[in-house]
C-alpha cells in the first residue's frame, strides 16, 4: 500500500518523473535478478530506491531526451552494482549510490560532447514548488509536506502529504519523526538567517528545500524512547547545518548531508 500511494503521489506531482521512476526501478530490479542477487533485498526495494532517485534527478535537471534516458538506464544498473557492494560488506549505504552516480552523470551530461555541445542541456530545475497556499504556513503540515515531497523532487503540497500518509501507514513513528525533524530544521534555519526579509529564503524554506535532508535524518533516527529523540535532534542539527554550508558554496547537495 505504501508503494502504491507513493506512485500516486508521483503521478499527481509529475507524471514524467513517475514513469521514469518506474522504468529505473524495473531496470534496477531486472539487473539484480539477472545477477542472482539476494531476493529479499530485491523484494524490499533496496536496489530500486536509489535508481528511482537517479531517474527523478535526471528529469529534474535536464528534462527528457535520448541522452538522459541512456544516462538513467546506465545509472540504474550502476546503482544496483554499487548497492550490492555495500550490502555485501554490511555497510549502510542509505542514498549514497544515488548521490555518487547522479553527481557523475550530471558532470558527464553537462560536459561537451563530440560536436562541442553538452550531451544534455541543463535547465532551470522545475517546476519544483507550488507556491499556492503559503498563506496557510501556520498549518503544521505545510512545510513538512513540501519537505517530504522534495526527497523525490516533488514540490507539490498534495504529493508531499500523500508521501507522509504512505510512510505513516508503513510506520507511524517514522512519519512522526520526519515531521518533527522538519520543524526542527526550520528552527535551525531561522537561527541561521535571523530576522530575514529575503522573500527567496522564505519561499525556499516554506517549499521544503531546506528540510528534505532533515526528513531523511528523522526517519533514519526514529525509534521508541528518549534516546532516539536525542539521536534525531543531533543528526538533524548536523545535516541541516552541513546543508546550509554546502549551499553557500553553490554545491549540488542532493541528500549528501543526510548520508
Instruction: List, for residues 81-90, the tens digit of each pLDDT value.
Output: 999 999 999 9
- pLDDT, tens only, 100-144: 999 999 999 988 654 445 666 555 444 455 555 444 444 578 889
Name the pTM for this structure.
0.88
Residue 70 sits at the vertex; the CA angle it makes with 61 and 125, to the nearest 5 degrees, is 5
HEC per residue, 215-238: HHHHHHCCCCCHHHHHHHHHHHHH
Name the average pLDDT for the chain. Answer: 87
Q: Give pLDDT tens digits for 168-224.
A: 999 999 999 999 999 999 999 888 876 666 655 677 777 888 899 999 999 999 999
CA angle 26, 19, 60 (to 5 degrees): 110
Which cell goes with 94? 542509505
Distance CA 199, CA 117 (A): 36
Q: What local confidence, expressed as pLDDT, does residue 155 receive?
A: 83
Query: Does the pLDDT value for residue 50 go beyond 90?
Result: yes
Q: Which residue has 551530461 as its cell numbers?
A: 109
What's the CA gap between 37 and 31, in Å, rounded?
Answer: 9
3-class secondary-structure state, position 246: helix
**Residue 144: how many other CB atoms lie within 10 Å:** 28
Cis peptide before 44 (omega within 30 of 0): no
Query: Which three three-digit cell numbers place residue 181?
Result: 525533524
Nearest-Å Rg of the Cα atoms of the chain is 18
- Residue-range domain boundaries for the chain: 2-110, 134-248
In sequence order, the β-bridge partners of residue 112 are 118
The packing angle between helices 142-150 and 172-192, to 10°, is 100
Amino acid at each position: 500500500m505504501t508503494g502504491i500511494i507513493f506512485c500516486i503521489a508521483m503521478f499527481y506531482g509529475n507524471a514524467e518523473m513517475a514513469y521514469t521512476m518506474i522504468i529505473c526501478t524495473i531496470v534496477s530490479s531486472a539487473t539484480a535478478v539477472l545477477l542472482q542477487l539476494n531476493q529479499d533485498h530485491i523484494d524490499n526495494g533496496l536496489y530500486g530506491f536509489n535508481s528511482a532517485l537517479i531517474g527523478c534527478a535526471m528529469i529534474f535537471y535536464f528534462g527528457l531526451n535520448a541522452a538522459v534516458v541512456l544516462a538513467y538506464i546506465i545509472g540504474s544498473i550502476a546503482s544496483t552494482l554499487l548497492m550490492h557492494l555495500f550490502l555485501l560488506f554490511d555497510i549502510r549505504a542509505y542514498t549514497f549510490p544515488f548521490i555518487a552516480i547522479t553527481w557523475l552523470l550530471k558532470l558527464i551530461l553537462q560536459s561537451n560532447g563530440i560536436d562541442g555541445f553538452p550531451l544534455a542541456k541543463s535547465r532551470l530545475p522545475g517546476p519544483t514548488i507550488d507556491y499556492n497556499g503559503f498563506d496557510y504556513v501556520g498549518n503544521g503540515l505545510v512545510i513538512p509536506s513540501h519537505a517530504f515531497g522534495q526527497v523525490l523532487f516533488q514540490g507539490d503540497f498534495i504529493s508531499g502529504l500523500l508521501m507522509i500518509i504512505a510512510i505513516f501507514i508503513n510506520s507511524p513513528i517514522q512519519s512522526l519523526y520526519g515531521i518533527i525533524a522538519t520543524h526542527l530544521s526550520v528552527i535551525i534555519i531561522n537561527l541561521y538567517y535571523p530576522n530575514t526579509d529575503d522573500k527567496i529564503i522564505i519561499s525556499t524554506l516554506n517549499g521544503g528545500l531546506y528540510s528534505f535532508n532533515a526528513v531523511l535524518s528523522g526517519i533514519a533516527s526514529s525509534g521508541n524512547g528518549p534516546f532516539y529523540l536525542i539521536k534525531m535532534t543531533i543528526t538533524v542539527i548536523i545535516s541541516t547545518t552541513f546543508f546550509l554550508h554546502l549551499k553557500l558554496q553553490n554545491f549540488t547537495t542532493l541528500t549528501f548531508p543526510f548520508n
